[in-house]
Structure 1
Amino acid sequence: MFSFQVMGGKPVRAIIEAGRPEIFARVRETYLAHHRGATVNPNSYFLRFPDRPEARIIALPAALRPDGDGGGVAGGSGVAGLKWIGSFPGNLARNIPRASAVLLLNDLETGYPFACLEAAQISAARTAASAVLGAEQLHGSRGAARLAVVGAGVISRNVLEFFRALDWTFGEIAVHDTVAEYAKKSADHAQALGYRATASGSLDGALDGADLVLLATTAATPYLTAPDTFSAGQTVLNISLRDLGPELIAASHNVLDDVEHCLTAGTSPHLAVERYGHRDFIDGTLAGLLLGEVRLGSDRPRIFSPFGLGVLDLAVGLEVLRIGRDRGQVQDVPDFFAEVERW
């Protein structure tokens, strides 16, 4: 009952690599469970540093009810927990990833933590699965003539891998990054996945003619603001959340993962609501779209902005831990708790 286990990043990554379609399905189920009210998902908490305003460590607490009458994720036993994720853009200059994270899982009956997992891989996987699910629902298929990838980092790499695992087809992929070397590496990776891909030296060149756009940068403020940046019917995956100016949001169809969560922390939808004083340009949530409660026209661009829900990390983390246990890839920490009796 009072066991505690640890799972490192390498086995976590290996399980994700072998099971992307299953993780995609788990993320889809969790969105629907959240829509049914089978989750507890309070606002994220941001630890910021006055001398480094671009850096932050974020706490995402959440709980997911078990399946059955609880309405939780199918096959799930229910779990509470916390993702603690650091985002330090300055790491890129050190040639180390921007994000690092751990995930703590707690028993719903006693509140005791029972596992700690390296969670940068889990966070990237749930983000990528969310992006691909959004692409499928907003774009209406599993294929595009031209995909523009803006931001050649860990997140866009994971999104490309999920696209491949779910059998998406692309006529061509154009990758742009402010660092040309990163763009080339990402394009090479896309080619290794079996896609026709090139690095684009300009942002406009990457976006030109793209019917599907993936934004996965570390931008802190909007840089895409021109009214004609996107065209009617074009699908934009606003994964990095802050690339788009309020005017672009207001002129588009907008689908969020959770409306109240996404209208915080200076996201593009948040800035748009602050500027215009209303939410009329927000069509609804991804779960609403999945259930047919939201319908999008083709008269404007379609933008998906997922703030990121802690319950997704819990669902994916619990699945990864279950497989890791079956494979003997978790480490027990004996006597982690000093006291296991009340007296």
Structure 2
Amino acid sequence: MPTCAEPTALTAELTAHLHAAAAHGRHSSCRGSVSTQIPALAAVPATKFAMAVATVDGTLIHTGDSTEAFSIQSLSKLFALCVLLQHDPGAWLDVGWGPTNAGYGSVADLERNQGRPANPFVNPGAIVVTDRLITHTGDPVSATSALLQRADPDGVVSCDTDVAISEARTGHRNSAIAHVLAEHGLLNNPIEQVLHQYFAQCAITATVQTLAKATLFLADRGGGNPPLNRPLDEATVRRVNAVLLTSGMYGAAGDIAYRIGLPAKSGIGGGVLAVMPARGTVCVWSPPLDDDGNSAGGVAAIEEFARLAGWSVF
């Protein structure tokens, strides 16, 4: 059953929206299929479903398998980027900020741009982020996990080593991307070290509750009530949200902006999160993916919640 910070009328309304959106998401999940790209994730039951909504006033509501941690995969790219921007606000020059229709794992797109990634959410950009985090922190996985843990001290954030090993064994395209980046002089650390950290970063596990809480600083425009511990300044938050809107859902970003109107990020593990500036965040976990590689149930649930709650940046 959903829980919340305090039983206000607004909380009751959001809870009703959460239930309706979750039901819609569960129904829509049958349109997708669990990815077999990473063998260790292929066995995750397609029926798993969790949803959480966090607001800047401290409310948290959730339903389904919301206490179960899952492999966040490319959702980690968002948090790794934010950690890097804490250390180097000018990191955008290395990873880019423009949208692309070439796909998140395109080597050809990387070559066309002389090795410079289009944005931090495609795999080339995320690998560069990991490389820079090795330089700044020595341990990108721990640094990224720490950002999540600070947002939810009672949550359990860890790395699934089985998933990381599975990714390493099948991550041939990411290996190719790393070699192209190195050829163009865009990696500062050894390829093997960068890939090891990147696969482990993607194998971080957390619940939808932790992820919704950890993303709240991107929705915060006034310090929150209670005040939120914001790791980034307001200008950087605006830039991150802008790139989330244009690139967080890869080739489907335009469709998501049209249908939902929120900055959003997806992961191959079935996680999707979205940000409503000045209001809050929503995170869904539903493993079956659609043809674009995004969670079929997750996108549907967030679309329905945004419609019911009136959440849109437009």
TM-score (norm 1): 0.28
* Higher strand proportion: 1
Q: Which has the larger radius of gyration?
A: 1
Q: What TM-score do the two structures reach when normalised by structure 2?
A: 0.30
Q: Which structure exhibits the higher relative contact order, with contacts defined as CA atoms closer than 8 Å and separated by 6 or more residues?
A: 2
